[in-house]
Amino acid sequence: MIALGLEGASAQTHETIIVGSGPAGLTLAMELARRGRPALLLESGLDRAGAAQDLSAATLVDPARHDDMRIAVARRLGGTSNLWGGRSLPLDPVDFVPRPFADLTRWPIEYEEIARHYPAACRYVDCGEAAFTLAAPDLRPADDDFSLTSLERASNRPWFQKAHAATLHASKLIDIRLGATVVELDVAENGHVNGVVTVAADGQRCALRAERVVLAAGGLESTRLLLAAQRRHPALFGGTDGPLGRYYMGHLIGEIADVVFAGAAIDNAFDFMRDGRGSFVRRRITPSPALQMRLELPNIAFWPIAPPIADPRHRSGPLSATALALSTPVLGRMILPELIRARHLKGNLDWRAHARNVLGDLPGTASFLAGFIRRRYFSAERIPGFFLRNGARRYGLSYHGEQSPNRDSKVTLERETDRLGLPRLRIDLRFARADAEAVARAHVSLARWLQASGFGRIEYRQNEAESADAALALMSHGSHQIGTARMGATRGEGVVDANLAAFDCPNLYVLGSAVFPTSGQANPTLSIVAFAVRLADRLSAIAAPVAVTRAQASAHG
């Protein structure tokens, strides 16, 4: 059920309280319900964006390095799935191997621990089967330093609250309360979390009791609640010098070069396609683990993209039509999540030049738009974007890479509070020049491999010697929110253990990308959902014996 407010919620001790209704929280609630376990899920916002969003305003130490909080956090039903582009891909085995690039950071679990939950995660994100490689028999590389077989899958229904509406409304075991903002964790002196303090939309404060609490409010907001608890209990989570709030990471994203493909086979390989397994997919070029280790590279993926659509010099009718549509806020947000829309449109748009491009290629533009709209909005398998090939076979070379963990990249609490009394965050996301140099080395290696394989060449957008400077200038993120409540084998290494339970508060769990010790190259949503399925296994195993004991005690009452 989904209801507004907290009526009746304080009358009992809940088995599990989940804070946050994004992919993490909703998946956990549905998985618990599937196993016969109840959960109370608290969402600060309503079913659409509203006043609650202002509660996430924060101080950005360097606004040029971090996304605006209005597009990094979504306080509404569905959470950041409302902002998600739908890219679905798993972490890689190499992410779990201590590597020099990642400061020899260790995960307290093996890759197989999360890999076995990816099939279920794929069902929840609706991206087809958990198939993330596809052979390219027509393309024979010179060596195995890079691979063309890695796939990203596209979610057919990225907004979780819509994709799972029937289950969420019908289940008697899922109790979702909207307009219920958690402002405090009720932590006893022995570390036991008695429950949470919430403020309803009407301003009423309410204490809710729970046997266990799961923070699934996104990396930043979950960390904010933990930091607030630490301010009241300074020894928690390793104290102020401990790992909480530190090692804040996103991803390294951008384009510093173009790629020119040598022939039709390699050119055709990167279009969006159906693989017969339930969704659109797209290839990515990835370095081998051996190359990463040998050259101390980040885990990184490359793929070709269309020329910058905002620049009318591309003289493409379809690209100009897309730019014009994206520049209209309402229509643009229907086409792309706001974060991605904003990245495509920087500065003023030359409407006249774009209109000339459209008018100069009306048949081609009309054909492109008709096909895209059909596959985007009227197909069971939803195309996530577009890739327009051109006769020159020249494209931007986009990369999405791992950011190295840095203890001094962190979030802390300000003295200033929001209107409900919770201290605001101060966000200091830092990028290292060493990461930029590693991105440049990855480009050099890829250029050699493409040339040796006869696949094409790389042309830099700056002098090659200035590539690290160019990559560093592009570094900015904020939507993936990794590392601030990292997993660890010990209290000194992490905030939570291998089962996502807080070391100092064993009935408090953190669920989300904040627990990832390393960032990898993959967008985190699919892995967050996989961890939610894994946590449901754990919580169900804990709750079931307790429920049996209660029933036995009641029978002998």
C-alpha–C-alpha distance, residues 440 and 36, integer Å: 51
Over residues 457-464, the mean pLDDT reads 97
Q: In this structure, are strands 280-287 and 146-154 parallel, antiparallel, or unpaired?
A: antiparallel
Q: Which residue has the higher pLDDT, 347 or 268?
A: 268
The pLDDT score that the predictor gives to residue 430 is 98
Give the pLDDT band (50/70/90) at residue 553: very low
At 339 the pLDDT is: 64
pLDDT for the residue numbered 348:
79
User: What was the pLDDT predicted at 549?
Assistant: 47
Judging by beta carbons within 10 Å of its beta carbon (0-12, 13-18, 19+), is residue 209 exposed, middle or buried? middle
> What average pLDDT does the segment 36-56 reach?
96
470 in a structural domain: no
Domain count across the chain = 1
Q: Is 135 helix (H, G, I), strand (E, B) or coil?
A: coil
Task: Kindly indicate the confidence band of residue 555, based on its pLDDT and cuts at 50, 70 and 90.
Answer: very low
SS (H, E, C) 142-209: CCCCEEEEEEEEECCCCCHHHHCHHHHHHCCCEEEEECEEEEEEEECCCCCEEEEEEEECCCCEEEEE
Confidence of residue 387 (pLDDT cuts 50, 70, 90): confident
pLDDT band at 505 (very low <50, low <70, confident <90, very high): very high
Residues 6+ apart with CB under 8 A from 476: 64, 65, 66, 67, 253
- Average pLDDT on 203-219 reads 97
DSSP 432-480: -HHHHHHHHHHHHHHHHHHHHHTSEEEEESS-GGGHHHHHHHH--B-SS
Instruction: Give the sign of the dihedral formed by CA 258, CA 384, CA 74, CA 243.
Output: negative
| Mean pLDDT in residue range 401-426 | 98
Tell me if 244 sits within 8 A of 495, measured CB to CB: yes
Is 369 exposed, middle or buried, given 0-12, 13-18 or 19+ CB atoms closer than 10 A?
middle
Interval 274-306: pLDDT, tens: 999 999 999 999 999 999 999 999 999 999 998
**Mean per-residue pLDDT over the chain, rounded:** 93
| Number of continuous H segments (helices) and E segments (strands) in the chain | 17, 20
Domain-embedded: residue 388: no
pLDDT tier, 424 (very low <50, low <70, confident <90, very high otherwise): very high
What are the residues facing 186 on neighbouring strands? 195
Residue 175 covered by a domain: yes
Closest CA to 162 of 273, 98, 76: 76
Could you tell me which of 252, 250, 243, 299 has the C-alpha nearest to residue 510?
A: 243
Give the mean pLDDT of 172-199: 97
- 303 touches 296 (CB < 8 A): no
Q: Decide: 209 and 14 in contact? Cβ < 8 Å.
A: yes
Burial of 307 (0-12, 13-18, 19+ CB in 10 A): middle
Answer yes or no: is 96 within a domain: no
φ, ψ for residue 234, nearest 5 deg: -60, -20
Distance between CA atoms of residues 554 and 557, nearest Å: 5
pLDDT more than 70, % of the chain: 95
Q: How far apart are alpha carbons 477 and 430 in whole angstroms?
A: 10
- Whether 287 is in a domain gets the answer no
* Contacts with 372 (C-beta within 8 Å, 6 or more apart), sequence order: 383, 386
Q: Residue 4: what residue type?
A: L
Q: What is the mean pLDDT of residues 44-68?
A: 96
Angle between helices 317-327 and 351-360 in degrees, nearest 10: 140
Question: In this structure, is residue 525 part of a structural domain?
Answer: yes
Residue 5 to residues 41, 118, 137, 204, 519, Cα–Cα distance (Å):
12, 34, 57, 10, 36
Averaged pLDDT for residues 410-424: 97
Instruction: Output the pLDDT for position 310.
Output: 82
Query: In angstroms, rounded to a whole number, what is the distance separating the alpha carbons of residues 214 and 275?
Result: 37
In this prediction, residue 361 has a pLDDT band, given cuts at 50, 70 and 90, of confident
CB 486 within 8 A of CB 515: yes
Q: Looking at residues 341-351, what average pLDDT do you find?
A: 75
Report if residue 467 sits inside a domain.
no
pLDDT band of 548, cuts 50, 70, 90: very low
278: left (phi over 0), alpha (psi -120 to 50) or beta: left
User: Residue 201: which CATH number?
Assistant: 3.50.50.60
pTM: predicted TM-score of the whole model, two decimal places: 0.93
- The amino acid present at 344, given as its one-letter code, is H
Choose the weakest-confidence range: 33-42, 99-108, 340-349, 350-359: 340-349
Q: Which of the four pLDDT bands, split at 50, 70 and 90, describes residue 23?
A: very high
CA 263 – CA 346 distance, rounded (Å): 32
Pairwise CA distance, residues 514 & 222, whole Å? 8
**What is the 8-class DSSP label of residue 361?**
T
Positive or negative, the CA dihedral 125, 127, 131, 132 is negative
Judging by DSSP bridges, how do beta strands 193-200 and 257-261 pair with one another? unpaired
Residue 246 belongs to domain spanning = 1-84+159-250+405-431+479-557
Is the pLDDT confidence value at 249 over 90? yes
Neighbours of 347 (CB within 10 A): 7
| Residue 206 domain-assigned (yes or no) | yes
pLDDT over threshold 60, residue 118 = yes
Pair of tokens at residue 335: 């086409």
